């Protein structure tokens, strides 16, 4: 758009200007990997997904966060062409969710919440099976299988029965199977749920690697600490989108209250004292987190109040809220 504006100012050929304008317009549209418009799904009377609108840019790691039962899987299944919306729709990779579900299925990777591996098959047999399902060309199969085995660090276990693999290893194999056909967009439904913290971290570095190569990642999680790994987030609660933005934006603009971190030599009596003052507080490690309005004014007041009880205050400071704090604050008004 800038180019168009500059050329306009210079008063150059009108056709050229239109060309640049339409080029940048189509470039903008081509920049969107997932476009969701008023997407809604009911089961009988129950509204599982309630008029959701969102856009995911190409190459972005988009985190879809919400507690259990909030509508994450239902949304993903509609976007992957596996479940019909009740109303609304959208596009995935430029294909229409309602009219072109089969085109979408060929161009995405989908890792369902249950990983959908065949436990009784070996690692290699699972890879063969999914290579067939996704129509990986015969001449490319060997190369893609080796790539997946290497990524999942399973080269030495290709003949192991899948059921015998640890959770974190199975998860990497499931990711490998889901992206054998090199899809440009990947949907991952709680891929890290029930997996140990080290495997979760390793898994995220695989995701980063894919994203750096230009793959778009749509990932759901109910672990708030994973939200910080995403470029952009949407928070869903009871089927409704309640916030959207980068992790930093959500933390700064959606907190109605400030969080103070308070350290004293007597934590529990301090907690009791704060609760007596109707201040919401909880123990976090060796400190307390208190939720207050007007932090600057409250800090000296609290310092004095606590000191008066003969408790020595080591530290009181305002901290950046966690996404969990943001979520709690948002659902209070939802
Ligand atoms: P999440 O993935 O966020 O945990 P889901 O999308 O799986 O949530 O489910 C959202 C809500 O829709 C839940 O209350 C769930 O019980 C309900 N639900 C999901 N699928 C069905 C179905 N096939 N029939 C009836 N209710 C369903
Ligand atoms: Mg789910």
Task: Tell me, using a 6 A CB cutoff, whether residue 188 lines ligand 1.
Answer: no
Report the separation in Å between the CA atom of 172 and the middle of ligand 2, taken as the mean of its atom positions.
Answer: 19
**From CA 198, how far away is CA 264, in angstroms rounded?**
33
Q: Are 265 and 309 in contact (CB under 8 A)?
A: no
Q: How much is the mean pLDDT over the chain? A: 87
DSSP annotation of 161: B
Look at residue 334 in the predicted model and tell me its pLDDT.
60
Listed residue (178, 92, 83, 104) closest to 134, CA to CA? 178
- Would you list the domain boundaries of the chain? 34-251, 255-331
| 209 or 23, greater pLDDT | 209
Q: Please name the residues in contact with 218: beta carbons below 8 A apart, sequence gap of 6 or more.
A: 34, 56, 62, 64, 76, 79, 185, 186, 187, 188
Whose structure tokens read 């800090």?
299
Percent pLDDT > 90 in the chain is 62
Which ligand is in closest contact with the Cα of 72? Answer: 1
Among 138, 201, 143, CA closest to 172: 201
Ligand nearest to the CA of 83: 1
> Ligand 1: distance of its center to the CA of 95 in Å?
25
pLDDT value for 4: 31
- Which pLDDT does position 36 carry in this prediction? 97
CA–centroid distance, residue 10 to ligand 2 (Å): 54
- Number of the ligand 1 atom closest to the C-alpha atom of 44: 25
Q: Of all residues in the chain, what percent carry a pLDDT higher than 70?
A: 89
Query: Both tokens of residue 37?
Result: 């418009």
Ligand 1 center to 75 CA (angstroms) = 10
State the closest ligand 1 atom to the C-alpha of 74, by its place in the atom list counted from 1: 6
Q: Which residues have CB less than 5 Å away from ligand 2 (the ion)?
A: 72-73
**CA–CA separation, 133 and 144 (whole Å):** 14
Q: What is the pLDDT of residues 55-89, one digit of tens each?
A: 999 999 999 998 889 999 999 999 999 999 999 99
Q: Which atom of ligand 1 is nearest to the CA of 76?
A: 6
Is residue 321 helix, strand or coil?
coil
Q: Do domains 34-251 and 255-331 have the same CATH topology?
A: no
Q: How far apart are the CA of 66 and the centre of ligand 2, in A?
A: 9
DSSP strand pairing (258-264 vs 232-237): unpaired
Centre of ligand 1 from the C-alpha of residue 236, in Å: 13
Strand partners, 222: none
* pLDDT, mean of residues 249-278: 88
Task: Give the mutation target among 74, 80, 83 for probing the ligand 1 site: most ligand atoms within 8 A of CB.
Answer: 74
Q: For the chain, how many residues are written?
A: 334
pLDDT surpasses 90 at 115: no
Please tell me what DSSP assigns to residue 245.
E
Least confident stretch, 7-16, 20-29, 193-202: 7-16
Of the listed ligands, the closest to the CA of 75 is 1
pLDDT in tens, 266-322: 999 999 999 999 998 888 889 998 989 888 889 999 999 999 999 999 999 888 777
pLDDT of 20 over the 70 cut? no
Which residue has a Cα nearest atom 21 of ligand 1?
Answer: 43
- Ligand 2 centre to CA of 189 (Å) is 7
The class level of CATH for 34-251 reads alpha beta
**Could you tell me if the CB of 74 is within 6 A of ligand 1?**
yes
pLDDT at 110: 93
Cβ within 8 Å of residue 176, ≥6 positions away: 127, 147, 148, 149, 151, 152, 154
Q: Residue 311 and residue 64: Cα distance in Å, rounded?
A: 43
- List the 87-92 sheet strands across, edge first: 46-57, 32-43, 87-92, 95-96
Class for the domain spanning 255-331 = alpha beta
pLDDT of amino acid 15: 47
Residue nearest to ligand 1 atom 27, measured at CA: 43
Q: Pairing mode, if any, of strands 185-189 and 108-111?
A: parallel
């Amino acid at each position: 758009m800038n180019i168009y504006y500059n050329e306009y100012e210079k008063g150059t050929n009108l056709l050229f200007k239109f060309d640049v304008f339409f080029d940048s317009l189509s470039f903008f549209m081509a920049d969107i990997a997932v476009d969701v418009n008023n997407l809604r799904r009911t089961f009988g009377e129950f509204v599982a997904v309630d008029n959701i609108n969102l856009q995911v840019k190409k190459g972005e790691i988009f985190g879809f966060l919400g507690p259990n039962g909030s509508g994450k899987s239902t949304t993903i299944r509609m976007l992957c062409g596996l479940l019909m919306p009740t109303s609304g729709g959208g596009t995935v990779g430029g294909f229409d969710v309602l009219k072109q579900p089969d085109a979408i299925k060929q161009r995405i990777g989908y890792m369902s919440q249950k990983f959908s591996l065949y436990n009784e098959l070996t690692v290699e047999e699972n890879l063969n099976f999914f290579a067939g399902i996704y129509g990986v060309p015969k001449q490319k199969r060997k190369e893609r299988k080796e790539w997946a085995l290497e990524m999942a660090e399973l080269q030495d276990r290709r003949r192991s029965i899948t059921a015998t693999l640890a959770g974190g290893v199975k998860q990497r194999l499931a990711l490998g199977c889901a992206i054998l056909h090199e899809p440009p967009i990947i949907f991952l439904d709680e891929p890290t749920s029930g997996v140990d913290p080290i495997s979760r971290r390793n898994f995220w570095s695989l995701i980063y690697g894919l994203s750096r190569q230009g793959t778009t990642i749509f990932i759901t999680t109910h672990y708030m600490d994973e939200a910080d790994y995403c470029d952009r987030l949407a928070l869903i609660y009871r089927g409704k989108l309640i916030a959207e933005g980068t992790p930093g934006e959500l933390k700064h603009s959606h907190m109605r209250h400030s969080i103070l971190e308070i350290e004293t030599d007597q934590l529990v009596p301090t907690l009791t004292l704060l609760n007596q003052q109707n201040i919401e507080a909880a123990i976090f490690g060796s400190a307390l987190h208190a939720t207050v309005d007007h932090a600057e004014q409250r800090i000296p007041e609290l310092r004095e109040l606590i000191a008066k009880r003969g408790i020595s205050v080591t530290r009181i400071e305002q901290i950046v809220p966690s996404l969990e704090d943001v979520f709690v604050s948002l659902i209070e008004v939802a």
